[in-house]
């Protein structure tokens, strides 16, 4: 398991440090070398998205403590794939792959289920896509996600160390794919063989449903290839980001976004 190589407290510190440092680096770089034209009011945009993220911490922090306890307790009664007696490294890789597969399924469900889309659409209504968008999720989406993934992780025998290790690997990828950085097309094409890239994810944030119902992968792009949801377009000159009638400035306010899913 991951704890054989690094302690759980060390993993937490490494995760928090990586999330913040990589996010800041991308935010600076997309200011210097943006893919889309230089965006106005970047600080206000970041303030809104980070305010939403801060509210979600009120769910994520206690949920993480509860999940650590329950995952540790469940392994005394059910070892999940531990029953296969795999080497710890192989077991960790398999569990991480299963977690990433669940993330793909969960993301796709958020697009294909009307109730879930009401909450997930808050993420898609951002018309100024940048690295801060990756932390912009409605608190109900976070809450439902936490409630659903706990029994799944218990079933496969995941420990909190696996979840932390997955988050450590996945978070920089999520930040990368949401960022408004400009990179050489050849690098994007090579990277998308393994991970979802900015060019892939910009299509996922298109106003057109035929485009935003695609490219659901979080850490790996293999799931989109396997399940037929991969969409690639190298020329995005005509791309419009956000959602029709939901990306106007008056609707892009904190309380308006928090209340929108509950309105007709």
Q: Give me the pLDDT at residue 94, please.
A: 96
Q: What Å distances lie between residue 143 and 56, 65, 168, CA to CA?
A: 9, 14, 21
Does 10 score more than 90 pLDDT? no
Q: Would you place residue 90 in the very low, low, confident or very high pLDDT band (cuts 50, 70, 90)?
A: very high
Query: Mean pLDDT, to the nearest integer, of 73-77?
Result: 87
Q: What's the N-to-C CA distance of the chain in angstroms?
A: 47
Does 2 score more than 50 pLDDT? no
Does 112 score more than 90 pLDDT? yes
Question: Rounded to an integer, what distance in angstroms lies between the CA atom of residue 241 and that of residue 243?
Answer: 7
Q: 164-192: per-residue pLDDT in tens? A: 999 999 999 999 999 999 999 999 999 99
Does 243 score more than 50 pLDDT? yes
Does 111 score more than 50 pLDDT? yes
Mean pLDDT of the chain: 93
């Amino acid at each position: 398991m991951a704890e054989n190589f690094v302690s759980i407290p060390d993993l937490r510190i490494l995760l928090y440090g990586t999330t913040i440092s990589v996010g800041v680096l991308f935010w600076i770089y997309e200011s210097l070398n943006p893919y889309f034209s230089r965006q106005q009011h970047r600080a206000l945009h970041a303030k809104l998205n980070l305010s939403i993220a801060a509210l979600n911490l009120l769910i994520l922090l206690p949920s993480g403590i509860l999940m650590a306890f329950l995952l540790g307790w469940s392994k005394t009664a059910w070892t999940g794939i531990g029953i296969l007696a795999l080497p710890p490294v192989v077991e960790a890789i398999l569990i991480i792959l299963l977690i990433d597969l669940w993330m793909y399924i969960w993301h796709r469900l958020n697009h294909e289920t009307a109730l879930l889309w009401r909450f997930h659409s808050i993420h898609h209504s951002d018309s100024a896509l940048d690295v801060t968008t990756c932390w912009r999720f409605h608190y109900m989406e976070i809450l439902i996600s936490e409630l659903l993934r706990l029994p799944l992780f218990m079933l496969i025998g995941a420990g909190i160390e696996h979840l932390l290790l997955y988050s450590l690997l996945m978070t920089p990828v999520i930040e990368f794919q949401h960022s408004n950085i400009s990179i050489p097309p050849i690098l994007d094409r090579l990277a998308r063989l393994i991970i979802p890239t900015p060019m892939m994810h910009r299509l996922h944030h298109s106003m057109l449903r035929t485009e935003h119902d695609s490219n659901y992968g979080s850490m790996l792009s293999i799931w989109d290839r396997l399940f037929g949801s991969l969409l690639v377009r190298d020329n995005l000159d005509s791309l419009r980001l956000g959602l029709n009638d939901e990306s106007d400035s008056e609707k892009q306010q904190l309380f308006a976004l928090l209340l929108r899913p509950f309105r007709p």
